[in-house]
Amino acid sequence: MRPVLLGSSTGRREEFDDPESILLDPRTLQGIEVPVLITVGARSAPFVHRLSDRLAAELPNPTLLRLPEVGHFPLLTHPDLFAGVIGSFLLDRNVPTS
């Protein structure tokens, strides 16, 4: 999957490797008052980790989970793990499921 993504992003590879390429205006996140779950696969590209870390640093109530042995698409590659993570997050916060 990664070669396909990088191959289709001609001219963007340098941006993926540049820590300054993540443009995030913290003001856009200030109004988010609900808990936010951020998941990132341990095998995801470095820029995904940087973005996840930056989001977690800027959000008022984040939970950042790094999923071991997982890439960028856990919903497709590890659906049971991903469903469990989301279910646990919701249950821990008493979010109604129906």
More confident residue, 76 or 97: 76
Domains of the chain: 2-92 (3.40.50.1820)
The answer to whether the pTM exceeds 0.75 is no
Give yes or no for residue 94 having a pLDDT over 60. yes
The pLDDT assigned to 65 comes to 96
Mean pLDDT of 80-88: 94
Backbone phi and psi for residue 24, each to the nearest 5 degrees, phi listed first: -135, 120
pLDDT tens per residue across span 3-61: 555 555 555 555 556 656 566 777 888 888 889 999 999 999 888 898 899 899 989 89
Contact partners, residue 24, CB within 8 Å, separation at least 6? 51, 54, 55, 58
DSSP 28: G
